[in-house]
Amino acid sequence: MPRYESVLDLIGNTPVVDVSALSPKPNVAILAKLEGHNPAGSVKDRVALSLIEAAEEDGRLKPGVPGQTLIEPSSGNTGIALAMVCRLRGYHLKVVLPTNVSPERRQLLLAFGAEIIDSPGSEGSNGAVRLAQSLSEANPSWVFLYQYANPANPLIHYKTTGPEILADVPEITHFVAGLGTSGTLMGVGRFLKEHRPEVQIWAVEPPSGEMVDGLRSLDDGYVPPIFTDNDGEHLLDRKVIVRPRESIEWTRRLTDVGLFVGLSSGAAMAGAVKCAATIDDAESATIVTIIADDGWKYLSTGAWSDDLDDVVERAKTTIYF
């Protein structure tokens, strides 16, 4: 095994595993890229390091200078990844976190020394983004990396995740991933379209907007600037909604192939299965999907052990993505 100088060197180059045993069609292979293998436990490790290195390059952050503070809205994984990188670099991190994330996410942020600023759970990630924006404006000395708009987010996926997928799965025909900030889909999608224009890019979304109480009208909605800046509407070939029940069912089904993963990964797998179902029996296809993180941070949700109806009901008020 190689020897590494820093934990940060362990980010990326994640394994891909064949989960075709769960494919609804024998002519369609499904491969899962296991981003939970990153050191802080999720695909967001790539993004966090990229955002911080970009800020160091453009001078907004100065390595080694004490007293520097960052602020970022996150429902968990980006915050945790940033907290890990900030701990190593000596930056103070404030994470604006909706109150209704799983307690394990909160614990991990604290473990890496981040400070948590609560935002109303009923407003979801929209509320966290708004609060972080206003706090950043009120405190101009704080560095606001703003993962939803920072080009360093999709860029790292263009530079690393995309090439890794093409190298490991050259026969790829479809790429399926959760939308979120859209960084993964925009970066990987653009790379794949440039190198294999025939590859179809599918986005998976939970029915988020239904549960956000803070919306007064549709004009309070939000589309990540990254999505608009990368012309996401043209880059994506298809976008499907995956409901809580399907996400949890597929999170459970993934244990049949030995994978214990987070609930957004269950949603991505559900999306991959929907994608597989559209392939004609006479054709063959290879779908790659992203397993964003492992299941450890969601044990308290009872997703694997409790009654499915109860878990689905609780999912409506808890942020799992």
Partner 1 sequence: MAAVLRIPTVLRPAMGGESVIAVEGSTVGEVLLKLTTTYPAIKGQLLNEDGTLHRFLNVYVNDDDVRYLGGVEASITNNDEITLLPAVAGGVW
Q: Which positions are annotated as active-site residues?
A: 44, 264
**Which of 198, 210, 281, 307 touches partner 1 (CB under 8 A)?**
210
Binding residue for partner 1, selected from 17, 110, 111, 223, defined by CB under 8 A: 223
Q: Which is nearer to partner 1, 92 or 245 (CB)?
A: 245
Q: Report the C-alpha gap between 64 and 56 in whole angstroms.
A: 11
CB 208 to partner 1: min, Å: 5
| Closest by CA position to 16, among listed 238, 198, 170 | 170
Mask for 35-74, x = binds partner 1 (CB under 8 A): ----------------------------------------
- Most distant CA pair in the chain, distance: 62
- 88 touching partner 1, by CB under 8 A: no
Q: Considering only 35-43, 189-197, 198-206, 252-260, which stretch makes contact with partner 1 by CB under 8 A?
A: 198-206
Task: State the residue for tokens 């689905």.
Answer: 312
183 binds partner 1 (CB under 8 A): no
Supply the DSSP string of 287-298, one letter for each residue. Answer: EEEEE-BBSGGG
Task: Out of 48, 108, 242, 276, point to the residue binding partner 1 (CB under 8 A).
Answer: 242
Is the distance from CB of 235 to CB of 197 less than 8 angstroms? no
Using alpha carbons, select from 129, 193, 138, 136 the residue that is nearest to residue 166.
193
CB burial of 3-33 (b: ≥16 within 10 Å; e: otherwise) equals: eeeeebeebbebebeebbebbebeebbbbbb
Residue whose CB is less far from partner 1, 92 or 239:
239
Q: Which of 47, 34, 100, 89 is nearest to 67 (CA)?
A: 89
Write down the least CB distance from residue 72 to partner 1, Å.
Answer: 12
CB of 133 to partner 1, least distance (A): 11
For partner 1, the closer of residues 98 and 162 by Cβ is: 98
Exposure string (b/e) for 209-232, b if CB count within 10 Å is 16 or more? eebbeebeeeeeeeebebbeebeb
Site for partner 1 in 120-179 (CB under 8 A): 124-126, 128-129, 148, 178
Least distance in angstroms from the C-beta of 66 to partner 1: 32
Give the whole-angstrom CA distance, residue 314 versus residue 311: 5
Q: Tell me the closest approach of the beta carbon of residue 212 to partner 1, in angstroms.
A: 5
Please, which residue, 9 or 280, has the CB nearer to partner 1?
Answer: 280
Q: Coil, strand, or helix at residue 8?
A: helix
CA dist 227 and 187 (Å) reads 10
Query: What does DSSP say about strands 28-34 and 16-18: parallel, antiparallel, or unpaired?
Result: antiparallel
Binds partner 1 by CB under 8 A, chosen from 217, 258, 281, 282: 217
CB 186, CB 230: distance < 8 Å: yes
* Cβ proximity to partner 1, 143 vs 315, nearer residue: 315
Per-residue DSSP letter, 18: E
Which residues within the stretch 252-311 sit at the binding site for partner 1 (CB under 8 A)?
Answer: 264, 274
Residues binding partner 1: number (CB under 8 A)? 50
Per CB under 8 A, the list member of 99, 100, 284, 286 interacting with partner 1 is: 100
Helix (H, G, I), strand (E, B) or coil at 61: coil
Question: Is there binding between residue 241 and partner 1 (CB under 8 A)?
Answer: yes
Q: Does the protein bind partner 1 through residue 180 (CB under 8 A)?
A: yes
Number of helical H runs and strand E runs in the chain: 12, 10
Residues that bind partner 1 (CB under 8 A): 75, 98, 100, 124-126, 128-129, 148, 178, 180-181, 203, 205-213, 215-224, 233, 236-244, 264, 274, 315-316, 318-321
